Structure 1
Amino acid sequence: MNSFNWVEGNGDIPDEVLDSAYETGAGKAICAVCEVSDELVRQGWPRLTWAFVDVPIRTMICRSTRQNISQYVVRWLPVDGAVFKEPN
């Protein structure tokens, strides 16, 4: 299993993080803990939110609400998708 550094913003996905994506059946995804903006926190969201990157469309989706939170992500911490892959 790999560990990663925080990724600032919600732009490009680093190659080493992209390698940790797992298949969902509807495309690849990357698990992440996201730090969201003050704007979203004022709306009642926690500062850190469990989410996933929908890799084909490069969108950050909240795991709890299924909302697109891409525009509110300040930085995100990738979580190695190896824990979701089936053993060979």
Structure 2
Amino acid sequence: MQNKIAFYGAGNVGATAAHWIAEMEIGDCVLFDIFGQVAAGKALDLYEASPAIGFDSRVTGSSEASIIEGADVVVVTAGVPRKKDPETG
């Protein structure tokens, strides 16, 4: 049975980490994000790239928190992007 690794946050950091985990075939990846279809879209991109990259890990995504249930590891990558400092740019 494959490990299930959940990513709480499917932004740039979460999607990149999931890509690396999937490519290394460490486990199946699930992406969760509160913003609509972001997680599902990024998971679909990774899943469809799997034949070209050469990995067999499953990658799924959802805006439903229940997707995280049963995960062996949860990686929290959610956050707010930094804003530019008005003085230093």
TM-score of Structure 1 vs Structure 2, range by shorter chain: under 0.3
Normalised to the residue count of structure 2, the TM-score between the two structures is: 0.26
**Structure with greater Cα Rg:** 2
**When the two structures are superposed, what TM-score results if normalisation uses the length of structure 1?**
0.26
